[in-house]
Structure 1
């Protein structure tokens, strides 16, 4: 379970509830951390959003232009806003819900 994610000397580290390192991955290979929950992390690099687990293993990826702007992540879900619509996706980028904002 992911309790925190830190950037340490150019490496993202996923930490457990005791503050111990679960795994790490270079920031240059993952891109920018957009958000995380206890289940997954969301990164953005070169126009693509990618979800990874606590060991930085890829869950899924999707082109950013189709998603819009990352808003938040909670539990197994994440929300993006595009063209006045907030869309909720699973960590595998399956669309769950869409509402006007």
Structure 2
């Protein structure tokens, strides 16, 4: 389970509940935009990417005009034009509503 994800220098580091670093990866051009209990969300160029606690990419989708609003529990939300969309860790849209 992920307790925190931090950008330190050129690394993105993942920590567990006892503040122990459990994994890390190079930051490169990646921007950390959301942290949930079992995954975190990155913007990498024109992609929205979802990674697990071991920094293994679970899924990805095109960013297009989407703006990631945050992540919590088992989902993350994006603003896409006039819609607020909710996605699971596989980048499958679960729901949407007018913003």
Aligned residues: 99
Q: Find out whether 1:63 has 2:58 as its counterpart.
A: no
Deviations 1:12-58 (A, max 9, x none): 110001100000001016x1101111110100011101000000001
Runs of 4+ residues deviating >2 angstroms: none
Distance 1:9 1:46 in 2: 19
Distance 1:68 1:24 in 2: 26
**Normalising by structure 2, what TM-score?**
0.95
- Structure 1 unaligned spans of 5+: none
- Structure 2 unaligned spans of 5+: none
Indicate the RMSD between aligned Cα atoms, in angstroms: 1.1
More helix by share: 1
**Normalising by structure 1, what TM-score?**
0.93
